[in-house]
Structure 1
């Protein structure tokens, strides 16, 4: 069991007896590389329950990335965490803790115990300026979220606006495609307005005492903080948060019986999104979350973009996004961080979607460059596993055991699963 504490003052950090202590006080010497202050003022006037949720999500995020899993297993090597998080609504969070603990266990495969330190309510600010944005959309820089932002922009009336929220923890490699998406939308939909919140929030490499944190490379909780930041922004307009991902990936089918939920993280799994939103609403916070592509494959999603902006613009827009699962290509030299390998699952699904939508793909893939670049990509190739996955067909036992939210039936999930497999099979041949 590992105890983790998030502290908002040096005094509290010094008194903590947790195994790992993270300080977030907005000073240069705290535990985070970020311009975001603990009061979240850069995001606007955030309701206190949603500000609490940002702190909960941040603590989960740093715990997940700072405690190593044991190697060699297929069930994500379950860890045991006890978190202490400062919150304004301590009584309400204590009452809701068990529900959040079960939801986090589903997300990461670990055991979580949530404890809370009482935090004084924030001082009352000035008059709240109404947020007239029609929608808030999470933009990661990937093709799914970019498509979601485009579909949202296309739905706006002249003069209407939306807010985009992005999070990065690795610098320019992630932020550049996010900026490209925002810039492209301003050109494609010049009669509308958007405000882009780009939040860089990364744990520093060293503890407060100067020793180095351990680093866990798996990333099951990678988007929980992203989701919390998006809800913090969306709460101010009350018009909903979109977290866009193709429905095939969101239901998270396994590549094989020994690789449960290996296609993606579970952060957009429909039951998970519904459960997080429900728990926050019960707490008195804002939790309206929607995946606009829940019923679509990635190919369907690309075709929707074509319908809205035409094939030529759609191809250019989608080719400028980033879907690769690997971020270390820069070690090859002559290759910018964020380049696509062409062989990981993210790249294979991306390439299959371009083919399904009959769109030219201008993405530069290392696998297509030959020489050491192709060798690098082949070492990371998951194509054979995907072929076996397609040949195996729909896993009925998986469908009978996954939780689904109200309104999504097993028959719906099965049909989506089959269509996603067909797109992959058509691409791989």
Structure 2
């Protein structure tokens, strides 16, 4: 087990050892990269730039999420006993340590499901005092931009989030969203390009909390990022706090999570992919349990995925502004390997589903791919695994028709049978889209 100790004040951090990793939070003090790693270096300024007070429990949540992101980045899966499931104990200072220690076992269980790791938490009373909002012309303009908004919508620069933003801003619904973006290196350009296609008023909040290792450990990081959606959702909760205070309306609570139903459930394509290859970033079990925990933490929010029962192809085909989404397709990113080469690979599972959805919707223009011709992938040992796994699942399910059993392998589902039937049908249609695409390309 590795113990991670977090604090905004580096003087309160222990020395580094094989079992103890000190991490400085925020940028309230100078950072000594020789002695400590760091998380959330610029996040605090982004929050202060909003020009509005943020509730302490929302700051506690993003502090916890920042710590989780740092820990899962710094501790490589390759060092785990099974080369996958890490055991990590996080010591985190928060405003209400009594509350979070009471919730710690539930938080651990939720993150265990999300990341496949084993999490432990100890919360202590923080000495950190949240600095007041920055008062300037720029922050006043930012505060004014929050007024009249009543929801937060995740906006990643991916195809699903593009559909979500376009639909919300073109529908007669009452949602007036703050588009929340987490920009890894290179993502910001994609997000800005897609936002130029949006025609109605919306708010914006983009942040980055990319953690950095101390000098002696440079380069030894993990890239699986299974907990990234916890981070994203925690920042969305902070956005809700900002909207409530800016609008003096405590009823604001909706966080929209636009994700196609197939990827949301993401059933494992083969037996050996259970856990390791099947991400659960927006699985309904994860979202429901997190929503319940946040309610008990006094945060009272509601996660909504309008596309839980739609495939990615159906999302594209039914988007309310077909001209805008057609232009967004080549600008968006879906690839799980995007950050390695800044070009979508074309052969990972998200790329295959993306390409099948574009084919289903009948769009001609798509983004360029490293592996454009899928027929050549079969000969490439290092990159053919996902394609083979998809084809194996198609063949197996064509024979067994056991979609119900397959869907359950990704995690617990809602008790309501009607909902379960809808999820099963969505998964079946989603895999059929991929099968149709592969057949059309003689793969």
User: Could you say which TM-score interval applies, normalised by the shorter chain?
Assistant: 0.7 to 0.9
Aligned equivalents of 2:190, 2:380: Cα separation in 1: 21
Aligned equivalents of 1:114, 1:378: Cα separation in 2: 41
Query: Does structure 1 conserve the Cα–Cα contact (< 8 Å) formed by 2:94 and 2:126?
Result: yes
| Partner residue, 1:183 | 196
Query: Does structure 1 conserve the Cα–Cα contact (< 8 Å) formed by 2:43 and 2:208?
Result: yes
- Over 3 Å counting, the alpha-carbon distance change for 1:211 and 1:64 in structure 2 is closer
Q: Cα distance, 1:329 vs. partner?
A: 5.6
Kindly report which structure 2 residues correspond to 1:178-327, keeping only aligned pairs within 5 A, or say none: 178-185=191-198, 189=199, 192-206=200-214, 210-212=216-218, 214-237=220-243, 238-261=252-275, 264-305=278-319, 308-310=320-322, 312-327=323-338
Pick the aligned partner of 1:426 from 423, 436, 442. Answer: 436
- Over 3 Å counting, the alpha-carbon distance change for 1:406 and 1:319 in structure 2 is farther
| Partner residue, 1:333 | none
Aligned equivalents of 2:130, 2:232: Cα separation in 1: 26
| Partner residue, 1:7 | 7
Aligned equivalents of 1:138, 1:258: Cα separation in 2: 31
Q: Cα distance, 1:304 vs. partner?
A: 2.0
| Partner residue, 1:167 | 182
Query: Does structure 1 conserve the Cα–Cα contact (< 8 Å) formed by 2:377 and 2:383?
Result: no
3-state SS of 1:367 partner: coil
- Over 3 Å counting, the alpha-carbon distance change for 1:76 and 1:352 in structure 2 is farther
Aligned residues: 406
- Over 3 Å counting, the alpha-carbon distance change for 1:229 and 1:328 in structure 2 is closer
Instruction: State the superposition RMSD in angstroms.
Output: 3.1
Pick the aligned partner of 1:144 from 142, 160, 165. Answer: 160
Q: Cα distance, 1:5 vs. partner?
A: 1.5
Q: TM-score, normalised by structure 2?
A: 0.82
Query: Does structure 1 conserve the Cα–Cα contact (< 8 Å) formed by 2:26 and 2:43?
Result: no
Query: Does structure 1 conserve the Cα–Cα contact (< 8 Å) formed by 2:39 and 2:66?
Result: no
Query: Does structure 2 conserve the Cα–Cα contact (< 8 Å) formed by 1:252 and 1:263?
Result: no
Aligned equivalents of 1:165, 1:314: Cα separation in 2: 19
Q: Cα distance, 1:216 vs. partner?
A: 1.5
Query: Does structure 1 conserve the Cα–Cα contact (< 8 Å) formed by 2:116 and 2:276?
Result: no
3-state SS of 1:341 partner: coil
Kindly report which structure 2 residues correspond to 1:30-429, keeping only aligned pairs within 5 A, or say none: 31-32=38-39, 34-37=41-44, 40-43=47-50, 44-70=52-78, 77-120=84-127, 122=129, 131-155=147-171, 161-169=176-184, 171=185, 173-185=186-198, 189=199, 192-206=200-214, 210-212=216-218, 214-237=220-243, 238-261=252-275, 264-305=278-319, 308-310=320-322, 312-327=323-338, 330=341, 337=342, 339-368=343-372, 379-381=382-384, 382-393=386-397, 394-400=402-408, 402-405=411-414, 409-429=419-439
Q: Cα distance, 1:366 vs. partner?
A: 2.3
Could you tell which deviates more after superposition, 390-399 or 373-382? 373-382
Aligned equivalents of 2:395, 2:361: Cα separation in 1: 22
Q: Cα distance, 1:235 vs. partner?
A: 2.9
3-state SS of 2:350 partner: helix
Give the gaps of 5 or more residues in structure 2: 33-37, 136-142, 244-251
| Partner residue, 1:29 | 31
Aligned equivalents of 1:19, 1:323: Cα separation in 2: 36
Aligned equivalents of 1:110, 1:293: Cα separation in 2: 28
Aligned equivalents of 1:54, 1:152: Cα separation in 2: 26
Could you tell which deviates more after superposition, 62-71 or 296-305? 62-71
